[in-house]
């Protein structure tokens, strides 16, 4: 069984924020929350600037947006 991301419990992507797009949400959860969470933009941002600063609607594949947020806080 794949390891679960340590931020999953509080993550809106994991906790059904995408309920209007159930197939997309399922793919995100399978790919990022339960498998390769270290590739998730949300995970990287939480590790860099803290989980409290990750915007709720940032998607796991929004790497450029996460990088911009990191630069803005430096």
Q: By the 8 A CB rule, do 18 and 28 touch?
A: yes
Q: Summarize pLDDT for 11-39 with one digit per residue, the tens.
A: 998 987 788 888 988 999 999 999 899 99
pLDDT of residue 71: 84
pLDDT of residue 18: 81
pLDDT at 47 over 70: yes
22: CB partners within 8 A, 6+ apart: none
Q: What is the pTM of this model?
A: 0.88
């Amino acid at each position: 069984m794949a390891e679960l991301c340590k931020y999953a419990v509080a993550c809106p992507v994991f906790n059904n924020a995408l309920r209007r797009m159930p197939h997309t949400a399922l793919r995100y959860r399978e790919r990022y929350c339960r498998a390769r969470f270290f590739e998730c933009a949300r995970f990287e941002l939480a590790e860099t600037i803290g989980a409290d600063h990750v915007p709720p609607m940032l998607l796991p594949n929004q790497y450029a947006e996460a990088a911009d947020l990191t630069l803005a806080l430096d």
